[in-house]
Structure 1
Amino acid sequence: MATLYHSYNSRSSALVTLIDELGAEVEIREVTIPRIDGSGGRDPANPHPEGKVPYLVDGDEQVRERGAIMIYLTDKFPDAGMGPLAGQKGRGAYLSWLAYYQGVIETVLLLDYAQIDHPALHAAIRDKAVMFAQLEAALAKGPWLLGERFSAADLLCVSPFLWFPDFIPDMPLIRDWVARCGARPSIQRTLARDAAVAAA
């Protein structure tokens, strides 16, 4: 059985939700991590080479980075339909959104949060206006990033907006998408699970 190394209220929470959506038999193992507020610390039980989460171990395979783990799991458990497989319609858009999240969405939001601004960053990485325009254009074609199909791309791309609602722009298509995602039972279960672990 595969094992996901997870820490509550962290980047790995989206993977806990994905495992729920997939109905996959994956062990979720709680570990501690260093947190922005200075709490926590590196857990010797965590095999991630940087002590971070998420980290997936599946036999001899070890996978890190959220987008990569999502591709690995949606390919491994295809029956849930959470990600188009190679050769299926929408595969290109699916892979593009996972990569866009890692390379653009999270980076742009972190730079904005840290109040770092420079024309070279906008040229190389993009800015919030461009990023939000891309999200809006995709959501104009359907309720989800892949149109009528909810996928792991939605789980990944919506994650910062669920944790930090101040990031949500005053754009109805994006605001309503965040609300639709947040209302999914799988996300509500992950929030409850994380809250219980944090309280303990």
Structure 2
Amino acid sequence: MSDEIVFFTHPMSRGRIVRWMLEEVGQPYRTDLLDFGGSARAAAYLALNPMGKVPAIRHGDTVVTETAAICAYLADAFPQANLAPSHGSRARGPYYRWMFFAAGPVEAATTNKTLGVVVPDDPRMRGMVGYGSLAAVLDALEGAIAGRDYICGDQFTAADVYVGSHLGWGMSFGTLEKRPAFESYVARLTDRPAAIRARGIDDALLAERQQQTGQQRAG
């Protein structure tokens, strides 16, 4: 099988993170747009991702799902893009640490806040949920980026794509507290040419989908 990258996504999904990552990588890729509950639940796609969720990528005969995993995979698959600290570097530690901190505690804490899930003020319960409290999560994340340009210091990496996307979305939708350190960090990232290109592509696809839906309703 060829080494073509096929990107399965929807413009109103976490696929926007992977789109940005793909634009940073700079390799050719083909986009396969799916509909929630429609083509994302079709047998052909479920054979790739039994969860029926987007995003996912197929690179040659390798299928990767889960946004953080896709970002980490692409960084390693295309080392020439310099989107991960070199193997053996001590910077590899914070790179993995904060990428998966965002995929775990940050994701869980913000989802619970959105759903109105309140963790009882009991040390045993807070230990059970893993993240303790949303305030503790945000304090830890602020400490990771305060006084640094990027998670790994001077090097922009896939971890910044993932962490920065969560912070940007969370502050935009009110699920994460706006803090000066978060705002300056996100502003630095979203001004990158690849981030701008990715937003333009997905915004155009979303507008096209909305127009098609409007025409179908009118007809």
TM range (shorter): 0.7 to 0.9
Q: How does 1:14-163 map to 2 (within 5 A)?
A: 14-34=17-37, 42-44=40-42, 45-46=44-45, 47-119=48-120, 122-123=126-127, 124-163=130-169
* Bigger radius of gyration among the two: 2
- What RMSD in Å do the two structures reach over aligned CA positions? 1.9
Q: More deviation in 148-157 or 121-130?
A: 121-130
Residue of structure 2 equivalent to 1:37: none
How far 1:41 moved relative to its partner? 6.5
Residue identity over aligned pairs, in percent, reads: 28
- From the two aligned structures, give the one with the greater helix fraction: 2
Cα pair 1:138 1:147 within 8 Å, conserved: no
- Which range moved further: 5-14 or 54-63? 54-63
Equivalences for residues 163-174 of structure 1 within 5 A: 163-164=169-170, 165=172, 166-174=174-182
Q: Which runs of 5+ in 2 are unaligned?
A: 209-219
CA distance in 2, matches of 1:62, 1:125: 30
C-alpha distance in structure 2 between counterparts of 1:81 and 1:110, whole Å: 32
| Unpaired segments ≥5 residues, structure 1 | 35-39
- TM-score of the pair, normalised by structure 2: 0.81
- In structure 2, the residue corresponding to 1:100 is in which secondary structure? helix
- Provide TM-score, normalisation by structure 1: 0.88
Does structure 2 conserve the Cα–Cα contact (< 8 Å) formed by 1:161 and 1:167?
Answer: no
Q: 3-state DSSP class of the match of 2:155? A: coil
Following the alignment from structure 2 to structure 1, what is the Cα–Cα distance between the partners of residues 144 and 150?
8
The count of residues paired between Structure 1 and Structure 2 equals 195
Letter in 2 for 1:122: R
**2-side partners of 1:28 and 1:49: how far apart?**
19
What code does the residue aligned with 1:190 have?
A
Matched, 1:13 2:11: no
TM-aligned CA deviation for residue 9 of structure 1 = 2.2
**Alpha-carbon contact 1:16-1:28 (below 8 Å) kept:** no
Contact 1:168–1:175, Cα closer than 8 Å, also in 2: no
Moved >4 Å (runs of 4+): none
Distance in 2, Cα, partners of 1:41 & 1:113: 27
